[in-house]
Structure 1
Amino acid sequence: MTTYEQDYVAADLWPTLNVLDNNGFAAYNIPESSALDGRVLKLRLDTAGEVSVWFSGGGAVELREGSATTVHQASIKEVDAGLFLVHFVRADDDMAAVVMLLDLTASVATVVRSSIVSGPAKGGLFAEEDVDGGTFDGTSAERHQRTADLVGRRIQYVYGPDNAYEHIYLHENAYAWQCLAGAEKGLADVDRARVWKIRADIYLLTWQEKVVPCDGVVILNFRAGAYQSTGRIWGYDTDAGTTNAIAMGARAVFLNHTAHDPATWTA
């Protein structure tokens, strides 16, 4: 008789967010960048209006939003030439986080604002996302567009020697994941996920989990010789009663691609 190590794990027994923070999600991350130090970028966002972003050095980011000015400590990475991923938890509200994808070459930006709200996840909370497109300095550049390019792909992400996950992109709004090694080994779920095409073979992926109140925002670089992801997962730890942002960086391994052909559905 076959003996199984573990059965299906009830949602209330899943590890909380801070447990994941101790399991090496950034072993293969790319380094921080100082290339934006001293730069001021003026964004015109489609929903939020004008935002001025000053990179004063050492990861400090000053935002001017309307009449309000705030300073935040950010992670800044150049994920491709002239393409920067900036993320931070707001210094004025630790229940809110921001990710900015800034393409200086195309003068276009995508901003993801995340917040913890009442919802179906553990503790009755949920990570909500608002995604806004925009341009720099009033240019008329085309916004980053949602895409179905990843649908059907099955990809393994290795975050460290003992931490790996598998993703299957089911359709434009959902993906399935399972933990192959690490604190969540044996756990799996299907969650909301959306993908934007940024450049050839470079994508922005966001997801919102149902069980742990968190969301993830990462850049996927599937160019030959790269095949990596970098970004963060952020949310609320229901044991500690605080939010936490976990840096993520992985080597990506393409497993296969499944294409469904409706012509095969009939006899």
Structure 2
Amino acid sequence: MTPNDTGAGAPVVLDYLPADQWPTLDALDGHGFGDYDLPDSDVLAGRSFRAEFDGGASLALHLGTDGSVTLRDEAPGRGPVEVVAPAAVKQVDEGLHLIHAAVAGPDAVAVVVVVDELLGAATVVRSTLREDAPPGTPRVEEEVRTGSLAGSSARHERTSELVGARVLYVYGPDNAYEHLYLTDSAYTWHCLAGAERGLADTDRGRVWKLREDVHLFAWQEKVVPCDGVVAVNFRRGRSTGRIWGLDTGTGRTNSIAMGARETLLSRTVHDPSTWA
């Protein structure tokens, strides 16, 4: 008798789908991640910004009127690196914008830039694929830089404010997930509806505070080789961002815009004084 045979001709229903049978990134695309996303905004079209980071590094960006963004990255000791890519701009809050762009090809990279005009801060997440990632570790590497817009000294700060929160994200009528934020650097997700329905995992996830009740959440998955970066506005009950990574079926990268109607379901607070 084989492990998947009951002896009566019926296969055993596995209680947890093996990782090699999970949907690929392309299979997730087109399953309603953008149904409830914020609309694209042209409020930054034609405008330029410069973010300055520690050590003399900077990132200049220009939003074209054709839906593109030009990114010019400079750092001491090397020449500038400039790329132009299609971009989506979302207005997360008043004067607070999330820009995401992806460059395909052999030097595939995805960049998310949060521009906070009111605070004078900028945060940049640069995502690249790792060819040498050990099994069971994220294939997408994230570099997160917090900086200030020219003329300001403000920064977005890493935060633990979401620890203990259980949040429902509904991306469309047939696509929903819940998140449980466990620690400063780990969270559990569970798909309630959609291509990954019934699947769950615990992955690396980090949070930066953008404003009161507005956060930037970045995570890296172990099974599907992708990462995600979203801005979550709890005051408005909306999130917006993207997931990006490698589709293992085609061997190509894919960027999927995503946005949800978001609800805080509960919050757990652990009190060590009650443990004795």
TM over 0.5: yes
Counterpart in the other structure of 1:89 = 102
1:263 maps onto 2:273 in alignment? yes
Once the two structures are superposed, residues 3-56 of structure 1 have per-residue CA deviations (whole angstroms, 9 ceiling, x without a partner) of x97511111111110000021101101111111111111221236712221112
Task: Describe the SS at the equivalent of 1:28.
Answer: coil
Counterpart in the other structure of 2:7 = none
Counterpart in the other structure of 1:179 = 191
TM-score by length of 2: 0.89
- 8 Å CA contact retained: 2:170, 2:261: yes
Q: Distance in 1 between matches of 2:25 and 2:105?
A: 22
Q: What is the identity, as a one-letter code, of the residue corresponding to 2:86?
A: Q
RMSD (CA atoms): 1.8
Map 1:138-157 to 2 at 5 A.
Answer: 138-141=151-154, 143-157=155-169
Counterpart in the other structure of 1:161 = 173
Q: Distance in 1 between matches of 2:89 and 2:59?
A: 18
Greater mean alpha carbon deviation, residues 208-217 or residues 57-66: 57-66
Q: Distance in 2 between matches of 1:178 and 1:168?
A: 9
Q: Distance in 1 between matches of 2:135 and 2:203?
A: 12
Counterpart in the other structure of 1:28 = 36
Q: Distance in 1 between matches of 2:81 and 2:208?
A: 30
Q: What is the identity, as a one-letter code, of the residue corresponding to 2:100?
A: H
- 8 Å CA contact retained: 1:87, 1:98: yes
Once the two structures are superposed, residues 94-142 of structure 1 have per-residue CA deviations (whole angstroms, 9 ceiling, x without a partner) of 52110000101111100000000031458x870110000111124222x
Task: Describe the SS at the equivalent of 1:18.
Answer: helix
Map 1:180-259 to 2 at 5 A.
Answer: 180-223=192-235, 226-259=236-269
- 8 Å CA contact retained: 1:231, 1:247: yes
Counterpart in the other structure of 1:61 = 69
Structure 1 residues 235, 92: closer, same or farther in 2, change over 3 A?
Answer: closer
1:39 maps onto 2:50 in alignment? no
Q: Distance in 2 between matches of 1:211 and 1:221?
A: 28
Counterpart in the other structure of 2:26 = 18
Task: Describe the SS at the equivalent of 1:57.
Answer: coil
Structure 1 residues 38, 147: closer, same or farther in 2, change over 3 A?
Answer: same
Q: Distance in 2 between matches of 1:64 and 1:163?
A: 36
Counterpart in the other structure of 1:104 = 117
- 8 Å CA contact retained: 2:156, 2:208: yes
Larger radius of gyration: 2
- 8 Å CA contact retained: 2:138, 2:222: no
Q: Distance in 1 between matches of 2:129 and 2:177?
A: 25
- Equivalent position to 1:137, from 150, 174, 185: 150
Structure 1 residues 213, 48: closer, same or farther in 2, change over 3 A?
Answer: farther
TM-score by length of 1: 0.92
Structure 1 residues 92, 52: closer, same or farther in 2, change over 3 A?
Answer: farther
1:119 maps onto 2:133 in alignment? yes
Structure 1 residues 18, 82: closer, same or farther in 2, change over 3 A?
Answer: same
Once the two structures are superposed, residues 38-84 of structure 1 have per-residue CA deviations (whole angstroms, 9 ceiling, x without a partner) of 11112212367122211121321112224343211111111101101
Displacement of 1:220 in angstroms is 0.6
Task: Describe the SS at the equivalent of 2:36.
Answer: coil
Q: What is the identity, as a one-letter code, of the residue corresponding to 2:70?
A: E
- Where structure 1 has 5 or more consecutive residues not aligned to the other structure, the ranges are none
Displacement of 1:91 in angstroms is 5.5
- Where structure 2 has 5 or more consecutive residues not aligned to the other structure, the ranges are 1-11, 75-79
- 8 Å CA contact retained: 1:116, 1:125: no
Name the count of aligned residue pairs.
Answer: 259
